[in-house]
Amino acid sequence: MNKGRKITGGKYHSQRKKKLYERQNQERTAFLGEIRRKKLRGRGGNIKVIMTRSNIANVSIDGKVKKAGIKNVLETPQNKFLARQNRLIKGAIIETSLGKARITNRPTQEGHVNAIFIKE
């Protein structure tokens, strides 16, 4: 059966267009690179800062936070191909100037990268 068609072959017509808040946004991805952020307008005029590229992470070591440069994405729990693309996502293990660290936030939602130092 054809999508958007009645059993008789007639078309279903939408009652109205989609509202701005009902529209689907483009998929956001954060990559390793020179820092680049974007501001998006949310419902009610709220502004969300999202990150599209970053090479700096806030790394927590024994309760103290230090800024560290990101060198490489070593592995991602969701998909090994995301690590090859150097995507910064929650749970990814990154190599920093201080050592290995695990990303604990969602950079595409918050606009910065937080990580916890991994002791080897």
Domains located in the chain, CATH noted: 28-117 (3.10.290.70)
Q: What is the pLDDT of residue 57?
A: 96
Q: Partners of 116 in the beta sheet?
A: 60, 102
Residue 51: CB atoms within 10 A of its CB come to 22
Per-residue pLDDT of the chain (120 residues; tens, 9 = 90+): 577 889 898 999 888 998 888 888 888 999 999 999 999 988 889 999 999 999 999 999 999 999 999 999 999 999 999 999 999 999 999 999 999 999 999 999 999 999 999 987
Q: Can you read off the two tokens belonging to residue 18?
A: 């989609």
Q: What is the pLDDT of residue 114?
A: 97
